Structures are given as C-alpha cells and as structure tokens.
Structure 1
Amino acid sequence: MSTRIDPRQPFSAEIRRIVSEETGIAVAALETARTDPDKGFHECRKAIKRLRAVWRLIRGGDEPYCRVQDVDLRRTAGLLAGLREATALVETAQRLAAAADDEEEAAAAATLLSALEARRSVILEARANLDPAIADATAHFSRLDFTAMRLPDSSEQASEILGQGARKGMRRAMRAFEAARGTGDAEAFHDLRKAVKALCMQARLLKSVWPHMGSNDRKAMEAFGDRLGELNDLHVMDTLLAAEGAGLVGEDACAVLRAMIAAGAQKLKRHCLRDAGRLLEPRPSPVAREIADRYSRRAGKAPRRCDVAA
C-alpha cells in the first residue's frame, strides 16, 4: 500500500484510493479485535488517525463532507478508547518500573503494574463493552460513501487545496507549541501531540512534494510525537493516581509514584520544547506555497509505465 499522494494521478482518484485502503485496514483490524481485542483496537485507532489526517488535509476541497467524516471518525475512535487506555496505563507503569532508581520506587511501580494488569484483564475477559464497540465501529465503516465526496482533478485546484491544508496543519502545530511553551500545561502539550501526529501523517501523504521533510526529518518528527505521547501517558497516570492511587497502591506508594511522574514529566517537557523549536516550521506560508508549486510541477509529468501498472 502507498499512502503517498501521487501528483501525476487524478487527485480525486488518489484520495479515494488512500481512504479506501485505510478503511480496509480499519475493518480488518476490527475483525482481528474479535480474537485479539488489544491488537485489533490499536491498529484500528491508528488507521482512524491516518484517515482523520487525510480529511483535515483536503478539507478545502469539500468542506462539508470532510468535516462530517472527521466528526464521525472521532466518535468511532472514542468507542475503541477504553481498552487502549487500559493498555497504555500498563505500558506507562512498565516504563516507570524500568526508570526506578531505588527499591522503594521499584516496589511502588511493581505494585502499580500488577494492579493495572489486573484491571486490564477484567476488561478483556468481560468483553461486555468490546463486542458492541466492534459492531458499532464496523457499522460506521460499512456506511461510508466515497462517491459523495466532490474533489477536483485540476492540478491547479488540487495544489491549492493541499497547500492550504498543509499550511493549516503547520499553523496548528505552531499554535500548540506556543501554548505549551507559554503555559506548560498538560493539556497544551496534549494538543501539541495531536497536532504533531497529524502533521507527520500529512507529511507522509505529501512525501514527494514537501520541502525539507526527507526520511530523516520525518523520523525525527515521529520520534518527537512519540515523546509527546509518553508525556501525555504520564499525565493520564498522574490523574488516575490522584483520584484512585490510595486504593490502587496505598498512600505511601502513591506519593512515590507521583514524584517519579513529576520528575519524568519535567524532563520530557524540556526535550519536547527543544524538539518543537527545532522541527516545527515557524513560517508555514512559504512552505505551503512550495508544496503547491512542487505538486503542480510534478502533476505535469506523465506516470511511468511501471507506475501505471502498479
């Protein structure tokens, strides 16, 4: 599968190809979820994120359609969130255990990990909410009608749509960076994470025309997004411990764990702000114009025979 938009192919056909393939991946993942819910839900949610990045990128081509699709996908992702959140908490507890500096920290992290693994097992074994979530998400994808999407095939119009979408994505990331740098709030860093993840996916879609976004740059941006994800996981864990920590691990262990989380979060915030200043584009408009220009130039080149056959 190629998730890259080929400027030499009709724009509307390329978008339908990509969203059809991603939808197929999501549906296949939901089938996997019937026997392996953790893996299936995770893969489906990743496909949903990629689809939402597509709709955001091309929204200027068919605003009403793309907006409806984005809202529906957000709701569908929410149906699958419970189990993934339980697994993310387990993974965060594992990272805390690996980062323990002494026996007290190690014991507290081990107690937390055991409690969260037990909680996750209950969700997996009960399946009370899993089967309806699979059915609802599958029904969403079965209702999709890509023929209702109205996109131009003119390279000039397509380049304008993609340039506009890329510019909005870069501006969204810069606004989130400025908010995170200014406030230091967990919610601001979470917004930055979402913006960076979407930007990474859009850069992959525009791989052939996005300047200064080669393979190494994309990998660095994706690693940045992963660090922001770890930071968000720490915030979610701290929120859980603030509400339920005494019951989960006891008051003393809870205090130890929250101190570990606070130290880890501060370190990650410093790294993330440094990465943001290095990787995010402070002047999106010139980059967006270059994306549009490159798309238009490449659109004038006929596909090679092997490309057409593929």
Structure 2
Amino acid sequence: MGYCFDLNDDTITNAVRRIALEEIDTALTCARARAADAAGQTHALRKNVKKLRGLIRLLRPRLHGYGLENAALRDAGRMLSGQRDAEVMQATLADLARDDDSPAAEAARALAAELAARPPEADRTNAMASFLAAMEALRDRASRWSPKGKGFSTLEPGLLRTLAAAQGAARAADDHPDAEAIHQWRKRVKDHWYHARLLRPIWPEAMAPHIEAADALGELLGLHHDLAVLRAHLADSRLPPDAQAALDALAARRQSGLEHDARRLAARLFADTPEALVARWRQWWQVWQAG
C-alpha cells in the first residue's frame, strides 16, 4: 500500500505494523540481493531506515519501547554510513568543481582525486550481514508494536512535538547559525516531511505542495550539511594551505546562499503554529475517515 496510512487499515496499530513491515521487508529483500550498483543499494537501504525512524518518531509519545527501536534503527543506518559518506563527499566536490576555473574549483578536483585514490575503509560484506541481522530482529518486534490510543489521537502528540521541534530548531539556527545547529534543524524538518508523507491520503491535493516544500527545505539544509562535512575534512587533506582556504571560502559562500533560501522557504512552510496546522490536519483526517 505504500508509505502512508490507508482507509483499508482498520486500526492505527494495524496501519503502523503494515507500514513498518513493508519497509523492513523491502530492506531485507534489497540487502539480500547481489547488487550490481553497490552505491544504489546502500542509498535504498538508508532510505528504508530513515522512513522507519520517521514512522516511530510520529508515535514517540505513544509507542512503548520507542528508545530501543530508535537506537536500533540509528545503529542500522550507521552500519551503512561509511560508503555513503564517501559518495556524498565526492558529489559535493564534483558540484564545487563545476563552479568555474578558479583555484577553488581546481582544489575541489584535486581533493576528489585524492579521496578516490584511498582504499575503502569498511568491509561491506560484514556491514551488510550486521544490517540484515538487525533488521530481522526489528521485524520480529515491529510485528507486535501496539501504540496507545485510537485514530488521530494516537498521532497528534507526535505531530505537535515534531512541528514544535522543527520551529525551535529553526530559531536556534537563527540565533547561532553554526553547522551543528543547521544540521539539527535539517533532522527535525526531515521528521516533519516523513509525517506529512504518512498523512498524504487525508487530502492528497492539499498535502502534496506541503510535502514538496518540506522535501525542498530538507534538501537545502542537507546540502548545507554536506558542505559543512567537506569543510571539516579539509584540514586532514593533502591540499596546500592556499588551496584549502580557497575551497573553504567557496563552500562557505554556497552555505550562505543555502541558508538564505532555506529561511525564506521555512517562513512559509511553518507559518502556522503547530496547534493550528495539526488541528487542520485533524479535520481533514476526520473527513477522510468518514469517506
């Protein structure tokens, strides 16, 4: 049925179990396959993990054992992070290298070549085996998840909590716009994006632009984080100091533009108070449930 609630789900508990098991089974099938595209396989598996974390964060105030499940999913994602981090670094450098023929672009190309020449840091076979074991154990537990409450009341506390956290993280990033604050903002925006996706059927035509805007905001903040990771890595590179400085300045300029665009988009996306937005979604849920 996909990553969303469905009228065929007769209870929230059954809906949550169905969504969780669909994502876990997709991940298990993907992880067991012999992938010609290892990077694509890793990306797909990480997406499954993130969707599952989004689901349980929606249920956080109502799901017994939330802490255990969140930690299990966090650790499962980290098992796959090494290769993915290297791929993101290369993609970030490739984008900066297209900027122009400046010293900064030349430094980006040089650092990309340096990173490509390094041997892989992680044993992919062992990482995948550990990932499979973690997801199989999670599947057994997820089949018994029983969030408290009925209908929208089960979801409302998590929606309010996540919206308030996203707005609070935005204010914190305004007050102290460092890389960590913006990274935390991104994570809270991503939570909200997953929750909006889960609720898309309540009014698809109205939810679609909200989902797209949350996705776009998360992408802007994600690119900012990728640049922050690159800048932190520069001191460990073999680039000469002047090349490091030029590349760092280019990355900082990109980050500044991304912050500007993100704040403009966030001002629209989160114009409502959490209470007002959730109240509207509650009404749409009730109309949807009434058929």
TM over 0.5: yes
Find 2:137's aligned residue among 140, 143, 148.
Answer: 143
Alignment of 1:1-310 (within 5 A): 1-7=1-7, 9-10=9-10, 11-32=12-33, 35-62=36-63, 64-100=64-100, 102-119=101-118, 122-123=119-120, 129-144=123-138, 145=140, 146-151=142-147, 157-209=150-202, 213-242=206-235, 244-245=236-237, 247=238, 249-301=239-291
Deviation, structure 1 residue 93: 0.3
Deviation, structure 1 residue 134: 0.5
Distance 1:2 1:34, change over 3 A: closer
Distance 1:200 1:209, change over 3 A: same
Give, in whole Å, the separation in 2 of the partners of 1:294 and 1:218. Answer: 15
SS at the partner of 1:99? coil
Give, in whole Å, the separation in 2 of the partners of 1:28 and 1:207. Answer: 26
Distance 1:88 1:202, change over 3 A: same
* Deviating more after overlay: 25-34 vs 263-272: 25-34
Q: Deviations over 1:65-90 (max 9, x none)?
A: 33321111001111111110011100
CA RMSD of aligned residues (A): 2.1
Deviation, structure 1 residue 179: 0.5
Superposition TM-score, scaled by structure 2 size: 0.91
Structure 1: segments with no counterpart, 5+ residues: 302-310
Q: Deviations over 1:152-211 (max 9, x none)?
A: 6x7xx2211112211111111101100011111111110111111121111010113379
Give, in whole Å, the separation in 2 of the partners of 1:181 and 1:212. Answer: 32
Distance 1:288 1:83, change over 3 A: same
* Deviating more after overlay: 74-83 vs 213-222: 213-222
- Matched pairs, number: 288
Maintained 8 Å contact 1:174/1:280: yes
Give, in whole Å, the separation in 1 of the partners of 2:59 and 2:185. Answer: 21
Aligned-pair identity (%): 29
Distance 1:60 1:158, change over 3 A: farther
Distance 1:58 1:184, change over 3 A: same
Give, in whole Å, the separation in 2 of the partners of 1:200 and 1:159. Answer: 18
Deviation, structure 1 residue 151: 3.4
Q: Deviations over 1:237-284 (max 9, x none)?
A: 000003x13x2x222211111111111111111111122112124410
Superposition TM-score, scaled by structure 1 size: 0.86
Distance 1:290 1:43, change over 3 A: same
